[in-house]
Each structure stands twice: as C-alpha cells, then as structure tokens.
Amino acid sequence: MKKDYLYLFVDFISKLTSKENKTYFFSGIILFLLLAPFIFSAYKVQLSFMLILILLAMTWDVQGGQMGYNTFGNILFFGVGMYLCASIQIGMFFPLAEWTESGGEKTFVHSTDQYFQGLFVGLIFAGLIPPIIAGLIGYGILGLRGHYFAICTLGLGIAAGELAGGIELIGAGQGMTTPPFPKGLGSLELRSQVFYFLCLALLVFTFITLRWLYSTRFGLVLNAIRDNEDKAEAMGIYTMRYKISGWMISAFFVGIAGGLVGNIVGYIEPIEVAFDGREMGVFMVLMTILGGKGTLWGPIIGATAFHIFKESFWSMFLGWQYVALGVLIIVIVIYFPEGIMGYLREKYPEKFGEAVDEKDRKAQVTLN
C-alpha cells in the first residue's frame, strides 16, 4: 500500500498544533523568527518583506475571505500610511516641500533622536489615519456588493496613486525619499535588523489580534455576511457596523505596514511603491487565494509560499515576471480557487475538526 505522505505531513502538523503542544509550537516559531535575521543575515530585507506580505494577506482575508468582499483597495491604506509616516518623519523637523524638492537627505540631516522620534510619531499616524479614512468612506463603499465593490476599490487604489503623483508637496511623479538611518548609529546591518524586528512585532500583533477577532462573535458575523448578507440582515444584524469595523481594523495594520515599508525601501514612488495596485495590490489577493481564503493560516501559508517562490524564481523570469504572474493568477484562480488550506480541508476534514460521521450525514430526519 502506498504511503500517503501528504496525510502523514498533515497529521504531523496537527499533532504539533494540538492543545498539549501548542505552546511549544508557537514558541518555536517565535524563536525561529527572532533568530532568523542572524541565521539568514544576508536576507534580512527579504525576510522583512515576507513578514509584510503575510500581514497584507492576513488583513486582506478579513474582507476577502472571511467576509466575502473581495477588495482591490486595501493598497489605499498602505500608500496613505507610507506617505503620512514619511511626511511626518520629515515635516516634524524640516520643511517638507523643500525636502522633496531638493532631494532631501543631502540638505537636511536627522539626528538620532529626531529620526526615532519622527519614526515613532509617523507610525502612530500611519496607524491612526487610514482607519479614519476607512470609517469615512466605508458607509458609501461597503454599501456596494460583489463585483461592484471589487471594481470600485480597484478604482480607489489606482485613483489614489494617480492623485499622489500629482501632488508637488510629496514629490509628485518623482516621489520622495524617506529619512536615512542616522549615520552615527551603525551599519546597514543594524538598520535592516531594526526594521526587521519592527515588522515582526507588527506581524505578531496582527496575528494575535486577528486570531482573537475570529474567535469572537465578530468573526462569525463576518462569515454570516459572506454566506448570506440578506439573511444576516433579516436576522437583525446591523451588517454595516461590522463591515466598517473590519475595514478599519485592516486599515490600521496595513497603514503601519506602509509606513515601515516606506522606510525600508527608502524611496517612495506613488505608483510603483506606495499605491502599487499592480504588484502589492494583486499579490494580496493572489497569496490569500493560494493559501486558502477564509482561514487563519491560509494567508500565512500562501504569503510565505508566494514570497519564497517569487524570490527564488523572479530573477529567472527576468523581463517575463508579469507574464509569469499573469499565468500564475489564471492557473490559481481557475484550478485552485480553494487554495492549499481549502484543498487540505476537503481531503482530511477530520484534521480540521470538521469530520462528520457518514451515518449522520446520510440519516433521515424524523420528527415524532
């Protein structure tokens, strides 16, 4: 009899994550992530990006997978967070307009204190303003359903990029640079390490928040909205509150992520970096579908797999990246819409606590 290696693997994972072993499992992962920048020291920046991608996938899933609202617009919060954080980092100490005009860091230099103060305040606003935006436009935009919502958010994301490309203050089409790491403090190594750990902290915070969220009534309401929004309303649920709150939560994490990425990349360009609908915006959707919509770990698996694949093969596809990406999207969406987690769930329902006795499934209902 052939060994079902996949089953053995899934079995192994479920043993790792069982109640007794759970703490060890998570501690192990945290430990690994803490040591990773030292083990893979040449890949610190890529690791940071991987963490960010995981975050973007997980937050997309709140709307896309859990609630059934496929958004192409979360990139809006990413770009806003990025520009806002950088603008505050600079604007707190120097005139912003002059910075962007003159190519910034050559004329104005941040002291160590200024740098970290600016970063701290900048990230706070990157987390504060996007949810407010989500709250303001949510009532209008989340009132749309299905593909209208999808295309409207696509328009939003791109409009934001085009708009940012026209504003002189933040560098218009040329974009702007973020403040460089204070020279006195140390090498590029230290900089990458600092931002890696910031990204890690943000991701852990996101994971804990979303994990908690899905265990509350809120999570179940999101699923109800996905499965039958009209029914949820007919049962007395004020769906708009939940839709907007969910979007605000995503906006919060995505905004801060944007602020961090702006600093890691060092250069904010409106369409290629900040409101990068074509790459980051699409990746968000693709990774989550790949890993499995509507599950906690699906986006994580999808983002990790996607990132590793991309980093390994992107240079192989040099020049043909978007062709490869386009083909990948088509293949995943047509043949693999349930993703990895979905596929495993169908195959081994008992590992997910969803097994039902065939006897129960086939039983006739009787009412005596």
Of 259-298, binders to another protein (CB under 8 A) are: 278, 282, 285, 289, 294
Residue (of 273, 266, 225) closest to 245 by Cα position: 225
Which residue, 48 or 250, is less far from another protein as judged by CB? Answer: 250
Which residue, 122 or 298, is less far from another protein as judged by CB? Answer: 298
Which residue, 92 or 328, is less far from another protein as judged by CB? Answer: 328
Q: In angstroms, what CA-CA distances link 75 with 133, 212, 257, 300?
A: 13, 24, 11, 18
Give the C-alpha separation, 44 to 148, whole Å. Answer: 39
Q: Which of 1, 39, 42, 234 binds another protein (CB under 8 A)?
A: 234
SS3 282: helix
Which residue, 267 or 336, is less far from another protein as judged by CB? Answer: 336
Query: For the residues of 111-156, what is the DSSP string, one character each?
Result: -HHHHHHHHHHHHHHHHHHHHHHHHHHHHHHTTS-HHHHHHHHHHH
SS3 268: strand
Contacts of 63 (CB under 8 A, 6+ apart): 69, 70, 71, 74, 246, 247, 250
Which residue, 20 or 230, is less far from another protein as judged by CB? Answer: 230
Q: Which of 28, 103, 143, 186 binds another protein (CB under 8 A)?
A: 143
- Subset of 318-337 contacting another protein (CB under 8 A): 319-323, 325-330, 333-334, 337
- Subset of 339-358 contacting another protein (CB under 8 A): 354, 356
Contacts of 218 (CB under 8 A, 6+ apart): 242, 245, 246
Query: What's the closest the beta carbon of residue 234 comes to another protein, in angstroms?
Result: 6
Q: Which of 74, 239, 250, 295 binds another protein (CB under 8 A)?
A: 239
Pattern 70-109, another protein, x by CB under 8 A:
x---------------------------------------
Which residue, 146 or 186, is less far from another protein as judged by CB? Answer: 146
Q: Which of 56, 119, 134, 224 binds another protein (CB under 8 A)?
A: 224
Tokens standing for 368?
């005596």
Which residue, 27 or 228, is less far from another protein as judged by CB? Answer: 228
- Subset of 23-42 contacting another protein (CB under 8 A): none
Contacts of 128 (CB under 8 A, 6+ apart): 255
The reply on whether position 223 binds another protein by CB under 8 A is yes
Q: Which stretch binds another protein (CB under 8 A): 44-52, 140-148, 183-191, 306-314?
A: 140-148
Pattern 182-221, another protein, x by CB under 8 A:
-------------------------------x-xxxx-xx
- Subset of 162-181 contacting another protein (CB under 8 A): 162-163, 165-166, 172-173
Contacts of 198 (CB under 8 A, 6+ apart): 260
Query: What's the closest the beta carbon of residue 109 comes to another protein, in angstroms?
Result: 32
Which residue, 103 or 166, is less far from another protein as judged by CB? Answer: 166
Which residue, 38 or 216, is less far from another protein as judged by CB? Answer: 216
User: Taking the CA atoms of the chain, what radius of gyration do you get in angstroms?
Assistant: 22
SS3 277: helix
Task: Tell me which DSSP letter residue 178 carries.
Answer: P
SS3 64: coil
